Structure 1
Amino acid sequence: MSATTIISLMAEPSGTVLGAAPRTAENVHTYLSAGGYQELPHPDRLLEHIAEAGLGGRGGAGFPAAVKLRAVRDGGAPPVVVANGEEGEPGSAKDRWLLRARPHLVLDGLAHAAAITGATRGCVYLSDPAAGAAVRRALAEREQPLPIEIVETPHTYVAGEESAVVRRINGGPALPTAKPPRPFEQGVDDRPTLVSNVETLARIALIASRPHVRRRTAGSALVTLSGGDGDAVLAEVSYGVTLRNLATLQGTHDPAGALMGGLFGGLIGAVSLDLPLDPSALAAARTAAGCGAIRFLGAGECPVSVACEAVGHLATQSARQCGVCVAGTGSIRDTVHTLHLGTAAPDALAKLLRWSKGLPGRGACGLLDASAGTAGSLLRAFPDITRAHLDSPCPSCAAAPRGRGLSVPVPEIAPSPAAPAPALKGTP
């Protein structure tokens, strides 16, 4: 993968999650100067704005933010709010960038979520040391309206799953648990808990400070684009832009397809690249943007090779709590690997099809679903190419670099300028 990640600025960056200076870390002075930490609107009114805007969660599932906020608010005991910055998808860099570059925006959103739900405790959950240092500096610069602690976790694919988040904050390992109960019912300290992705919270802060453009705020997303011919790109784009246009933005011309949603949206072929970046349209096409990570396939790149890399990563990241997940991800990995090598048995495609239909929903988290979905999407989007791997080894697969990896680096961020004295701690 690319050794660098470029930030793509929008034409009018003011009022966006990227902000006016995305290559420089913010401090409390720059955040206040940009209109941050304004007096809180009435929580019920802000919740109405969030609902009217149609803001969906940005952690991957896209669940309506207002519905989740209401469920936690109405849960009974004083809730806990958690900013989830643990970025499990290897192709995504947005959450780590947000915490490193715009920690005050995330903390502002967390405070608004606490006001809406009535929470008396907040947590920022992460694994990235640079992100942790940036959040600690931000907390030292300005006192927050509720106690906020930073909870660190070892980085794994499943560590950001919401029940794993709760389990880790409660002192256990960052591993998913069986559901129900879900965190909004019984989470941290057995209290109703909002586990919200850091980009979702950032957009809540923007809606609070700029309610007149709330629909535009909710209708935009941070995307991490990689693969193909260009450098990785972190961009903020509006829903409706086509996937093909995003490939051009990233520098991949004539892409053969894409791996969508990190590892959760599966593979799509070139014909699907004219789809808009829109949750409903993508769902209708049996794919998803998920966390906004999209890896494009360059011209001539074999989708079997990409699928092999994806399901191999998922198999190594299994929490190994569910027997069906250990066996299922391992079997999918091994079978796709034989296709990659050109040594697959005649029934390999039939096995992959059966697993893609029968395994989703059987694990404690979505990792098994992602593996099965990747296998099914390979068969669906590239049937002829996949079938050809039964007959002879693929020259493209044989030439694919080993250990290329799926990860993209976080864009480089210049240090925050020194805030003027005296410190603005406690300033509204």
Structure 2
Amino acid sequence: MTDTTLTVPAVPTTPDHRLFRGWFETGAPAGLAEHLDRYGPAPLPTDRRDRQALIEAVEQAGLTGRGGAAFPTGVKLRSVAERRGPAVLVVNGMESEPASRKDEALLDLAPHLVLDGAALAAAAVGATAVHLCLPRDEARAAQAAWLAEAVAERRRAGLDPLPVELHLLPHHYVSSEESSLVQWLNGGPARPLATPPRPFEKGVARRPTLVDNVETLAHLALIARYGPAWFRTAGRPDAPGTALVTVSGAVREPGVREVPLGMPLGTLLAGVGGTTRPLGALLVGGFFGSWLPAEQALRVPFAKPALAELGAGPGAGVLVALPAQACGLAETARVLRFLAAQSAQQCGPCRFGLPAVAADFELLAWGTPDGELARRLPHRVGLLAGRGACRHPDGASRLAATALSTFAADVEHHLLAGPCPGTALPPVLVVPDRPAADQEGWR
């Protein structure tokens, strides 16, 4: 008699080994055969009732976007699904945040989990086209080739109802913004668009378009398999699930870690071997993030609601430990110079305001400040937010404003006595030596 018993993959039970399940045991990326053995095929919706049930499961799970904005994923799915006409799915793997490596690591170690999530999301919203956007970067060329093969292998196996089309975009900081992706896919430059309409209203080919980060889609693939109650067994009621965090700076074991949301920042640092030197501050969220004093931040949970109370947020899942002897003003000045060079140059705050703030920060960090700098710099920083075509000046403003407050004692020293000894130390933040936007082009 034929044995018809199906082998059901085990449910992940370790709260911080979900997306990277298996990697910690094998130390190798998951190919398609191993992926299917570990998770089984994705439970794709077959009718309208199934699609509705999947969207409801994501809503009940409380999954939020892991690309930076932390917008509720279920709301995005429903907004696109309820629009008329066939939809489009855009998978955002650009990861333009220089301090983040989480998406790169996820696509290296568990690409099929991301592609499962893409297939599920496309089915849920009624998409007839799927686009995977990656940076046109020599450092990630091998990954792009590996993903192309993974996509082809899935097609040969009949796993994905829709073909996934890969695109390599200019690697500007603002090119990962969702409207930048839409504009590029529509044949234009990879620059942000002023909104409305939002992509869910009229996006690629003027069709309803869902844009989701690769980590978000990988979580969706797990929710579809194991349900919202399982997803909520990690994290907090107001911030459920896990997140990938890139930890760097003065820590013993820098790298990407998967952690339950709500873990105190001090515990998170202990999980990477602890710090190598006494800390002065933490940068939470990346180049668009916030500087927080170390003594205050170490007790704060890594979750949007808790960080919001301090005017911060998890952003793209970045945590940088700044040693006490480093100069936070010099670190900020380097980042602001990069952000000014990487802007789309489409509106006043980026064409004039951000370069002026960056120049003032450089003067504060390394120069001989003039008598007006103490008044001029906070005023200019306050003029950046809320006035751009995209959120680029808002993020730069947040970084600059929190630097002025967190390093207030350093600001006073620099204004009165000039640069501190920390300005001569090697940089802690790695700022890319990337061509300016007008040199690299936007197509």
What is the TM-score normalised by the length of structure 2? 0.86
Q: CA-to-partner distance for each residue in 1:220-245, whole Å, 9 max, x for gaps?
A: 10000001243422000011211122
Q: State the 1:131 CA deviation.
A: 2.8
Amino acid aligned to 1:263: F
RMSD: 2.1
What corresponds to 1:413 in structure 2? none
Partners of 1:405 and 1:14 in 2: CA distance: 27
* Preserved CA contact (<8 Å) 1:262 1:293: yes
- 1-side partners of 2:423 and 2:246: how far apart? 28
Deviations 1:306-340 (A, max 9, x none): 21122111111111122321211111111111111
Matched-pair contact (CA < 8 Å) for 2:15–2:242 = no
What is the CA-CA distance between 1:49 and the residue it aligns to? Answer: 1.4
Q: 2:102: which partner in 1? A: 94
1:60 aligns with 2:77: no
Query: Of 145, 162, 179, which residue of structure 2 is paired with 1:146?
Result: 162
Q: Distance in 1 between matches of 2:386 and 2:290?
A: 16
Q: Distance in 2 between matches of 1:15 and 1:371?
A: 33
Shift of 1:348: 1.8
1:296 paired with 2:321, answer yes
Answer yes or no: is 1:129 the counterpart of 2:176: no
Question: Which shifted more, 347-356 or 291-300?
Answer: 347-356
Partner of 2:3: none
Q: Distance in 2 between matches of 1:14 and 1:393?
A: 46
Q: Among 280, 289, 292, which residue is 1:268 paired with?
A: 292
| Aligned counterparts of 2:245 and 2:179: Cα–Cα separation in 1 | 25
Deviations 1:356-399 (A, max 9, x none): 32210111122211221111111222222212110112333332
Instruction: Report Cα offsets for 1:131-190 as digits up to 9, x if no partner.
Output: 322221111211211121001112110110000001111122211111111111110011
Q: 1:40 aligns with which of 30, 39, 44?
A: 44
User: In the alignment, which residue of structure 2 is the partner of 1:31?
Assistant: 35
Q: Does 1:332 align with 2:340?
A: no
Q: How far 1:405 moved relative to its partner?
A: 2.5
Tell me the distance in 1 between the aligned counterparts of 2:259 and 2:16.
14
Tell me the residue number matched to 1:379: 404
Letter matched to residue 353 of structure 1? P
Query: Which residue identity does 2:395 align to in structure 1?
Result: A
Alpha carbons 2:285, 2:315 under 8 Å: kept: yes
- Output one character per residue of 1:53-80: Cα deviation in whole Å (capped at 9) or x when no partner: 1100001000000000011111212100
1:230 counterpart = 2:252: yes
**Which runs of no fewer than 5 residues in structure 1 stay unpaired?**
1-9, 409-428
| Bigger mean CA deviation after superposition, 58-67 or 120-129 | 120-129
- C-alpha contact 2:16 2:259 (8 A) present in aligned 1: no
Query: Which residue among 420, 431, 434 is the counterpart of 1:406?
Result: 431
SS of structure 2 residue aligned to 1:139: helix
Are the counterparts in 1 of residues 200 and 208 from structure 2 also a CA contact under 8 Å? yes
CA contact (8 A) 1:257 1:296 kept: yes
Moved more, 169-178 or 158-167: 169-178
Q: Is the 8 A contact 1:225 1:232 kept in 2?
A: yes
Deviation of 1:14 (Å): 8.4
* Most deviating of 88-97 and 320-329: 320-329
Q: 2:23 corresponds to which residue?
A: 21
Runs of 4 or more, structure 1, over 4 Å off, are none
Q: Which position in structure 2 is the counterpart of 1:254? A: 278
Note if contact 1:14-1:20 (Cα within 8 Å) is conserved in structure 2.
no
- Tell which deviates more after alignment, 255-264 or 199-208: 255-264
- Are the equivalent residues in 2 in contact too, given 1:85–1:197 (CA < 8 A)? yes
Counterpart residue number, 1:194: 210
For 1:173, the equivalent position in structure 2 comes to 189
Q: Name the amino acid aligned to 2:369.
A: A
How many residue pairs get matched? 399
**Offset of 1:95 from its aligned partner?**
0.8
- Equivalent residue number for residue 411 of structure 1: none
Q: CA deviation at 1:15?
A: 6.1
Return the TM-score normalized by structure 1.
Answer: 0.88
SS state of the match for residue 34, structure 1? Answer: helix
Q: Tell me if structure 2 keeps the 8 A contact 1:226–1:233.
A: yes
Kept in 2: contact 1:378–1:386 (CA 8 A): no
Alignment correspondent of 1:396: 421
Q: 1:283 to 1:13 in 2, by over 3 A?
A: closer
5+ unaligned residues in a row in structure 2: which ranges?
A: 1-11, 235-239, 434-443
Contact 2:325/2:422 (<8 A) preserved? no
Quick one: distance in 2 between partners of 1:235 and 1:58?
A: 14
Output the CA distance in 1 between the equivalents of 2:167 and 2:409: 48
Q: What letter matches 2:113 in structure 1?
A: L
Residue correspondence of structure 1 range 267-286 to structure 2 within 5 A = 267-270=291-294, 271-286=296-311
Q: CA deviation at 1:407?
A: 5.9
Q: Give the 3-state SS of the residue equivalent to 1:142 in structure 2.
A: helix
Contact 1:260-1:294 at 8 Å conserved across structures: yes
In 1, Cα distance between equivalents of 2:264 and 2:364:
31
Counterparts of 2:302 and 2:352, CA distance in 1:
34
CA contact (8 A) 1:59 1:291 kept: yes
Conservation of the 8 A alpha-carbon contact between 1:120 and 1:147: no
Shift of 1:297: 0.4
Cα drift, residue 248 of structure 1: 2.9
Is residue 12 of structure 1 aligned with residue 14 of structure 2? yes
Q: Secondary structure at the match of 1:267?
A: strand
Bigger shift: 153-162 or 255-264? 255-264
AA aligned to 1:12 is T
